[in-house]
Structure 1
Amino acid sequence: MLTSLSIQNYALIDNLHVDFNNGLSIITGETGAGKSILLGGLSLILGKRADLSSLKDTSQKCIIEAVFDVSNYNLKSLFEAEDCDYEDQTIIRREILPSGKSRAFVNDSPVNLNNLQIIGERLIDIHSQHQTMQLVSNEFQFQVIDALAKNDEILQQYKLELKDFKKLQKELKELLVFQAEAIKEHDYNSFLLNELIEANLIEGELALLEEEYETLSNVEAIKEKLSESYLLLNDEQIGVLNSLKELKNNFLKLKGYSTKYDDLFNRVESSFIEMDDVYREIDRMHDTIEADPKRLEEVNSKLLKINNLMQKHAASDISELIKIKNDLDEKVSITENLDNTIQKKSKEIELKTIQLNAIAEEINNNRKNAIPDLITQLETILSSLGMPNAQFKIDCVFGDSFYSNGKDELSFLFSANKGGQFNELKKAASGGELSRIMLAIKSVLSKYIQLPTIIFDEIDTGVSGEISNKMGDIMLLMSKTMQVISITHLPQIAAKGHTHFKVYKEDINEVTTTNLMKLNHDERIVEIAQMLGGIEMSSSAIAHAKELLN
């Protein structure tokens, strides 16, 4: 509920602060006194755009601040979704700077106007004759029926299932698009894959093949160098082995003279053994290495194939080619198995459709069961509001398409006169009738759901007498479960309020200012008497005012 409202430097208001109570609050005042200014200031709190014309003094900023008790509204999740700090006593502030820029804050955290509008619509419902067109909205009509049908929980379940259903549909569509594209590429991808498979690629093979190619390409040169090395080691005149053998024999004799030659002998002997081993290895290699033109051709062919593939796929080595092969293998495999995947996805959609249909049917049944009660309550209330022949014809037909709130097609028809044709509300009801219908609907809704603070802005225009008295009774009844504020020009309604405020203008230093004051009992008598008989109050008007208040 709205607990307080402060307005500074807005339109005709210098500085105004008002505290509101729960129950029914009444705001009255002469035409042009500034009742609309209050609503204008409040609408800025709810996210309406502002401009410099809102400022009373264009050199100073305008500040509007409202405090709400939201402890019973279950709004924590909404505040989190809008990235706002939640407080049971929530403060919303709007500032309009002399530059024309505006700022908004929720519990001192800056927010944009979209955040403000989303939160604001859950805090205050401002209703005037101009806003009765909400009545003709299919979405609003469903909200009314669903409140009576107690569909809140099942609608949440339906929305979750619908979200999954749409996700599956999107996935199937993407699969079908992918399949269409994949089919075009399938043959080419298969060709590339087979080419890589036939290459029989082995990681690290390239270096080995290049080495083997170099060996096979230079057999004669290798044999020649091996032969030269063989002679260098084993030549009778200058052979390394013969020289080492003589050197070893010399140190063998020397070590017989002194142990200090032992180390040199051992080192020469090790060198002889190593060179002898090298000689034998060269001899073996020389005997085993042979020219192999066929193998050379095979190695050359594979190297050419690998290099061509690397160039074709812009790969730097075999490991990249293997990765490309695996990716192609996956693409080809996916394409070849897409039919199965699509079938599986289609089956999931079929099952989800069955689940959704079952939930939608339950929603439809709940609505159908609630409609007769809604019609009875609305027609009863409207009869008391001077529309005894008002009739509703509401049909809820189970359709073929999944909508955001079920599968129903709603027909919400109205007839104001006995024997009249049923028609859509916007065609069948006048502005005054729409106001009374909205009041009736809000009254019914207040029994079933926690409505926000509701402000009726001269909803009673065009009615008087007993009907206005009934309208006041309805507002009073609504105020037992919610905060109701009524801006009215009818004394019968003004007398119903638990709290009464008066909007008035006064001229100070030749400057007109709008103010708001809370009336005590005696002041209420005067205000209501003036509403009944004008400024010149008669004793009968005062008596009538006292009677209304009592």
Structure 2
Amino acid sequence: MLTSLSIKNYALIDTLQVDFNDGFSIITGETGAGKSILLGGLSLILGKRADLSSLKNTEEKCVIEAVFNISNYKLQALFKAEDFDYEAQTIIRREILPSGKSRAFVNDSPVNLNGLQLLGERLIDIHSQHETLQLTSNGFQFQIIDALANNDETLQSYKIELKGYKKLKKELQELLDFQADAIKEHDYNSFLLNELVEANLVDGEMELLEEEYETLNNIEAIKEKLSEAYLLLNEEQIGIISALTSLKNTFQKLSGFSSKYEDLFNRVNSSLIDMDDIYSEVDVLQEQLEADPNRLEVVDSKLRVLHNLMQKHVANNISELIDIKNQLEEKVSFTENLDDSIQKKRLEIDAKEIELNTISNDIHNKRTAIIPQLKEQLETILGSLGMPNAQFKIEIIYGEEFFANGKDDLSFLFSANKGGNFNELKKAASGGELSRIMLAIKSVLSKYIQLPTIMFDEIDTGVSGEISNKMGDIMLQMSKTMQVFSITHLPQIAAKGHSHFKVFKEDVNDVTQTNLVKLNHDERIVEIAQMLGGLEMSSSAIAHAKELLN
């Protein structure tokens, strides 16, 4: 329940601090006194977006703080899911800075507006004329029926399964779309893949082929140069090996005289060994070197194939071509196996549909079973509210389509008069009748679910006399199990409250301010008397006010 509210620098409110009790609280005040300002400030606590127009003094920040006793609300799971710090006495604070930025805090920890809105929905239900219009929406009507049918857990299971079902349907459609496109590309992809497979790609092969091509294509020049090298190494008179052999013999004779000569001998001998080795290798290369026009043609053809493939696929080397080949293999294989994947996905969807049908059938049966009880209770309450001939015709038809809340189509029809035709609520009920129907629904709901603090904003619009008295009785009855606020202009309702608050305007230093005060018993008599007879209270109005309060 809401235990206190503090507002600073908001609209026409300079500073306001008020404490609330449980039970039935009344808020009254003249038209334009600022009741909407009070609701606006409370809406900010519940996560409504704010702007600079909210600031009374645009050079100072606006601060709105509310304290709630949530010990009986079972909100620990929500606090954990939103990463809020849970306290039985929870404090929510909104700050609007002169810069226009807004901040929100739950128990002094910063939170975002989405999380605050989720929490706010579980703390206060502000009933306004706008919400009365919601009564005519199919979604709200289902919420009423499901609350009475205790369908919450079943609906949660249904929504989880429905989410999985929609995901599978989306995946199936993606497979079908891909198949349609893939079939068009399959032949072309297969052709490209066959080209790459026939090329017999080997990573690093290109460099070897290019080297072999250069050798075969320049074999005569290579032979000529190898022959020159062979002669230079081993010509009898001026060959390198012959010269090194003579030089070796010379230093061998000197090596006995000094280590310096011995070192030179060793170095020449080492060079001679290398030259012998080079000579032998050149000899082998000459023997191996042989013109092969056929092999040259094969190598040239393979290189042309590789170069063409690299150009076609915009690849820099064979390694990239191999990667492209692997990708094409996956595409071709995936396309060829799509039928199996599609069939498997359809079987998964069929299984999910069976599960969804089971759950939605359970939801339907619970809804159908509760309708007579809901109809009877609503008609009884409306009878006491001056609508003795009010009748509801509520029908639920099990359909074929999976909706967000089951497979049901709901027909929620109403007739206000005996013998009248049943019609949709928005066509069959006036504004005053809709307000009474909404009050009846809230009264019924309060017996089945733990409603949060509820605030009725002029739900008594369009009614008077004994009807307003009955509406006050219903709200008073609701306040036995929850905290109820009623913003009202009717003295019959105002007199039933356990607590009474008055919203008023006053001029302070030529500045108009809105304030809220709790009235004592004598002040309540005056306020109710003025509601009955105007500012100039008659003795009969005062007597009537006392009678209402007693």
Q: Please report the TM-score for the alignment, with normalisation by the length of structure 1.
A: 0.89
SS in 2 for 1:136: coil
Equivalence for 1:93: 94
Q: Does 1:291 align with 2:299?
A: no
SS in 2 for 1:418: coil
Mapped contact 1:103–1:110 kept (Cα < 8 A): no
Shift of 1:385: 1.8
Shift of 1:6: 3.2
Mapped contact 1:201–1:322 kept (Cα < 8 A): yes
Equivalence for 1:425: 425
Residue type at the aligned position of 1:230: Y
Shift of 1:426: 1.2
Aligned ranges for residues 131-530 of structure 1 at < 5 Å? 131-250=131-250, 263-506=263-506, 513-530=513-530
Shift of 1:464: 3.8
Residue type at the aligned position of 2:221: A
Q: Which one is further off, 13-22 or 476-485?
A: 13-22
Residue type at the aligned position of 1:168: L
Identity %: 75
Shift of 1:435: 0.9
SS in 2 for 1:364: helix
SS in 2 for 1:146: helix
Q: Which one is further off, 510-519 or 371-380?
A: 510-519
Mapped contact 2:52–2:58 kept (Cα < 8 A): yes
The 1-side partners of 2:514 and 2:257 are apart by 133
Aligned ranges for residues 27-38 of structure 1 at < 5 Å? 27-38=27-38
Q: Which one is further off, 48-57 or 344-353?
A: 48-57
The 2-side partners of 1:441 and 1:258 are apart by 123
The 1-side partners of 2:301 and 2:386 are apart by 101
Residue type at the aligned position of 2:388: P
Q: Which one is further off, 385-394 or 152-161?
A: 385-394
Shift of 1:532: 4.4
The 2-side partners of 1:187 and 1:150 are apart by 58
Residue type at the aligned position of 2:380: T
Over aligned residue pairs, what C-alpha RMSD do you find? 3.2
Shift of 1:30: 3.9
- How many residues in Structure 1 have an aligned counterpart in Structure 2? 548
Structure 1 residues 92 and 287 mapped into 2: Cα distance closer, same or farther (>3 Å)? same
Aligned ranges for residues 61-80 of structure 1 at < 5 Å? 64-73=64-73
Residue type at the aligned position of 1:90: I
Mapped contact 1:73–1:450 kept (Cα < 8 A): yes
Mapped contact 1:452–1:483 kept (Cα < 8 A): yes
The 1-side partners of 2:248 and 2:51 are apart by 111
Q: Which one is further off, 201-210 or 3-12?
A: 3-12
Residue type at the aligned position of 2:35: K
Shift of 1:318: 0.9
Mapped contact 2:51–2:96 kept (Cα < 8 A): no
Mapped contact 1:371–1:394 kept (Cα < 8 A): yes
Shift of 1:40: 4.1
Residue type at the aligned position of 1:407: K
Equivalence for 2:104: 105
Mapped contact 2:248–2:268 kept (Cα < 8 A): yes
Q: Please report the TM-score for the alignment, with normalisation by the length of structure 2.
A: 0.89
Shift of 1:184: 1.9
The 1-side partners of 2:290 and 2:55 are apart by 103
SS in 2 for 1:503: strand
Q: Deviations over 1:91-131 (max 9, x none)?
A: 2325385x8x4635344677787776555444332224454
Shift of 1:336: 1.6
Residue type at the aligned position of 2:351: L
The 2-side partners of 1:112 and 1:349 are apart by 37
Structure 2: gaps spanning 5 or more residues: none
Shift of 1:26: 0.8
Shift of 1:375: 1.2
The 1-side partners of 2:456 and 2:43 are apart by 14
SS in 2 for 1:515: strand
Shift of 1:356: 1.2
Residue type at the aligned position of 1:174: E
SS in 2 for 1:447: helix
The 2-side partners of 1:512 and 1:54 are apart by 15
SS in 2 for 1:451: coil
SS in 2 for 1:227: helix
Mapped contact 1:384–1:470 kept (Cα < 8 A): yes
